[in-house]
Structure 1
Amino acid sequence: MKNIQDAYIVAATRSAVSKAGRGSLKNTRPDDLLGKALQHALTQVPTLDPAAVEDAIIGCAMPEAQQGLNIARVGLLLGGLPNTVGGITVNRFCSSGLNAIAMAADRIRVGEADVMIAGGVESMSMVPMGGNTPSLSPEIFMSDENIGIAYGMGLTAEKVAQQWKISREDQDAFALASHQKAIAAQAAGEFNAEIFPVQVANRSMNLEQGQVDIHWHEFSRDEGPRSDTSLESLAKLKSPFAARGSVTAGNSSQTSDGAGVLILASEKAIKTFGLTPLARFLSFAVKGVPPEIMGIGPKEAIPAALRLAGLTQDDIDWYELNEAFAAQSLAVMRDLKLDPSKVNPLGSAIALGHPLGATGAIRAATAIHALQRRKIKHAMVTMCVGTGMGAAGIFERC
């Protein structure tokens, strides 16, 4: 039996997040985007021999079509990594990227690997939420016990808003604050160190020359944050999820495209390759909740992850609580009495977007860079998960 050893993050990067269907990455294949993310992550550790990577674990919430065929392995090959590096795609919906990090860390902690890659990728432009041909078991509809599995995510947020008495006004105020924090963070360059630029091609027909002209531009800024968001504009939006509902497009996460990649290493690998650790992986927990109130999942996962790390809520300096919906974020914060000043200091998915299986890795990159930049000790990444789950992971600055 091998001794448990520490797993460290030595590189953390992400793409900027693009609006699904109309943003800069709408025509960028997710496997190509993943390949670029992998390439950039390796530039952060130039002394690391890529052949030393044991395996890559990549999260993807809808692993089909352009995201199918084991996108982890395809992305590795497109990214130019050696054929010897294996790849596996994992899916736990919105926590897929975070789960990939935890699984990679576990391989190192039990001594099965010294260098691992973890991350997530999602193109909601090319593969819609739910996939192209979703099919639910008829048994789900036979009784009330499991009917929550069939609920749309927006309806589950309405259920949370009703049960936890989260007002429309509070949801809109929370959404506005997300945009304001994200805009301020962009202006201050808070995301610069974690985002890698993507060269994007814009094609147009040149009728005079009878050819397609290609113009390239660099995409390196999250597209979601809006400086013109106001309480007045948010109040005009209607809920598409329930009659007289309070959950709207304005106080919900944005559908998005993006990718994030982390490189993890053991202490042995750090010494061998002269690497500088950014953070230590401390713990990960996932807990189930009723599917019809899936948004409350972090309320159960956060205490579980803290227990595994031997920490309390007060020990966490930075919470990346993914804003799937303002209603569920507020319900979690109020139930656990989280310090609002520590939650999403740079905004989150309402402003910055939520590319499903990539979000856990993207938010982890943000948290890890914040640990270094702010010289704080502990950060947590947590989110609710479709079909009724919550996940949470904790990182400690080195």
Structure 2
Amino acid sequence: MRDAVIVGAVRTPIGRRNGAYANVHPIDLSAYVLQGLVNKTGIDPAVIDDVIWGCVQQVGGQSLNPARLAALAAGFPETVPGTSVDRQCGSSQQSVHFAAAAVVSGQCDVVVAGGVESMTMVPMGASMADPAYGAPYGPLFSQRYPDEPNQGVGAEMVAEKWGFSRSQLDEYAVQSHERTAAAIDAGAFTEQYVEIPGTGLTVDQGLRRGTSLDVLAGLKPAFKSDGVIHAGNSSQISDGSGALLITTSEKAAELGLKPLVRLHTFAVAGSDPVIMLTGPIPATAKALARSGLSINEIGAFEINEAFAPVPLAWQVETGADPKNLNPLGGAIAVGHPLGGSGAILMTRLVHNMVDNGIQYGLQSMCEGGGMANATILELL
């Protein structure tokens, strides 16, 4: 029976909005990561059957199928095709799922999955900016959901539903910075970085060392005047990209590649599109049920820190050990480059599992429209 294994996983250091990558075109950002994956694994790009690339704002500099453009910009043979995926924040995690399905089914033997987002060059909401092309919510959708979905308001709803205070959320945000600082200082990310020429960026740029409860207490709520969500306990707006090389165990042996982890189980779930951010809870339940594993058998979790209430609510509902939840920090500390985040989180998870001998890891992230992907990896 065919399986799906990851034999390479790389990412850029994440750049702040208007930071190190402000003048790097997202196609170039993607191309450098693809080149880095080739250099890391030694794969001949000619054997790659497809490039599946996540990207959320597919307009302007991210239009015209960034997957194909990035592969060509990276110098891949013209015979290597590419397709672009939008499952909102989970776009490049979905790319991994599609890649795994392609190799398990025998449609492909070698696939690159990943994604990109330049939130500097193509700002969030850019695809909705021109009213001449109409609003994304048609009359029938608006009839069913008269309250237009807003992620920040959804975060406030999650905090209220689970009873999280601002101090609890801020404590989590401080922990994210502290864990990220410790991971960077320990060199946890060094082997996975692809440095982008001319930028000088060698580590994730968003980290604010010394972030404290006192500092966060001075920030104003962003979505409600009496709310608990603010810039300091939300993910940062960022630029970045990541890529993974996926094949079968048999093909890896043929190509002389060493499998790092097996894609053990993957699932996707829908949830309330107005509160929007609770999808990782049912997605995790679905993945665990399919895998036959219990939450206590998972040694590391990457649950995207879109807003602090998201991983906290997930932890309450799943009963996961808090020490294994985002042990290397997360998007509150380093940023969330939308279409690139799924691949970036998975790259972090793969290397964390390999470096620390963790048998099983699970990744999930909330997605616009009320959805979530969940992926369980098994160490090889």
Range into which the TM-score falls when normalised by the shorter chain: over 0.9
Q: Secondary structure at the match of 2:310?
A: helix
Contact 2:11 2:241 in 1 (8 A): yes
Q: Report the Cα offset of residue 245 of structure 1.
A: 0.4
d(CA) in 2 for partners of 1:119 and 1:127? 18
Q: Report the Cα offset of residue 132 of structure 1.
A: 4.2
> Paired residue for 1:263?
245
d(CA) in 2 for partners of 1:293 and 1:137? 16
Q: CA RMSD in A?
A: 1.3
> Paired residue for 2:54?
59
Higher radius of gyration, 1 or 2: 1
Q: Does 1:18 align with 2:11?
A: no
d(CA) in 2 for partners of 1:189 and 1:32? 26
Contact 2:149 2:276 in 1 (8 A): no
Q: 1:142 to 1:32 in 2, by over 3 A?
A: closer
d(CA) in 2 for partners of 1:394 and 1:29? 32
Q: Does 1:146 align with 2:145?
A: yes
d(CA) in 2 for partners of 1:395 and 1:9? 9
> Paired residue for 2:132?
none
Out of 324, 328, 337, which is 2:306 matched to? 324
d(CA) in 2 for partners of 1:92 and 1:141? 18
Superimposed CA distance per residue, residues 67-106 of structure 1 (whole angstroms, 9 cap, x where no aligned partner):
1110000000000111111100000011001000010010
Out of 167, 170, 173, which is 1:169 matched to? 167
Contact 2:100 2:246 in 1 (8 A): yes
d(CA) in 1 for partners of 2:365 and 2:128? 26
Q: Report the Cα offset of residue 141 of structure 1.
A: 7.6
Q: Does 1:5 align with 2:2?
A: yes
Q: Which amino acid aligns with 2:25?
A: R
Residues 303-314 of structure 1 mapped to structure 2, 5 A cutoff: 303-314=285-296
Out of 79, 85, 90, which is 1:90 matched to? 85
Superimposed CA distance per residue, residues 303-358 of structure 1 (whole angstroms, 9 cap, x where no aligned partner):
11112222111111100010000012211111211110110001001001100010
Residues 191-206 of structure 1 mapped to structure 2, 5 A cutoff: 191-200=189-198
Contact 2:157 2:275 in 1 (8 A): yes
Q: Secondary structure at the match of 1:198?
A: coil
d(CA) in 2 for partners of 1:107 and 1:194? 25
d(CA) in 2 for partners of 1:232 and 1:59? 37
Sequence identity of aligned pairs in percent? 39
> Paired residue for 1:110?
105
> Paired residue for 1:136?
136
Q: 1:239 to 1:141 in 2, by over 3 A?
A: farther
Contact 1:140 1:147 in 2 (8 A): no
Superimposed CA distance per residue, residues 26-52 of structure 1 (whole angstroms, 9 cap, x where no aligned partner):
111100010000000011221x32211
Contact 1:114 1:268 in 2 (8 A): no
Q: Secondary structure at the match of 2:56?
A: coil
Q: Does 1:100 align with 2:95?
A: yes
Q: Which amino acid aligns with 2:75?
A: G
Q: Does 1:37 align with 2:33?
A: yes
The total of aligned residue pairs comes to: 375
Superimposed CA distance per residue, residues 153-191 of structure 1 (whole angstroms, 9 cap, x where no aligned partner):
111101111111111010000000000000111111111
Q: Report the Cα offset of residue 151 of structure 1.
A: 2.5
Q: Which amino acid aligns with 2:176?
A: S
Q: Which amino acid aligns with 2:195?
A: P
d(CA) in 2 for partners of 1:142 and 1:239? 27
Q: Which amino acid aligns with 2:49?
A: E
Q: Does 1:219 align with 2:201?
A: yes
Q: Report the Cα offset of residue 140 of structure 1.
A: 6.0
Q: Which amino acid aligns with 1:137?
A: Y
d(CA) in 2 for partners of 1:265 and 1:67? 27
Query: What TM-score do the two structures reach when normalised by structure 1?
Result: 0.92
d(CA) in 2 for partners of 1:282 and 1:11? 16
d(CA) in 2 for partners of 1:176 and 1:396? 30
Gaps of 5+ in 2: 130-134
Higher strand proportion: 1
Gaps of 5+ in 1: 201-216
Contact 1:105 1:281 in 2 (8 A): yes
> Paired residue for 2:256?
274
Q: Does 1:126 align with 2:121?
A: yes
Superimposed CA distance per residue, residues 249-298 of structure 1 (whole angstroms, 9 cap, x where no aligned partner):
00000010000000011123212211111111112111111112211111
Q: Which amino acid aligns with 2:68?
A: R
Contact 1:250 1:350 in 2 (8 A): yes
Q: Does 1:374 align with 2:374?
A: no
Q: Which amino acid aligns with 2:44?
A: D
d(CA) in 1 for partners of 2:230 and 2:121? 23
d(CA) in 2 for partners of 1:218 and 1:82? 29
Q: Which amino acid aligns with 2:77?
A: P
Q: Report the Cα offset of residue 133 of structure 1.
A: 3.0
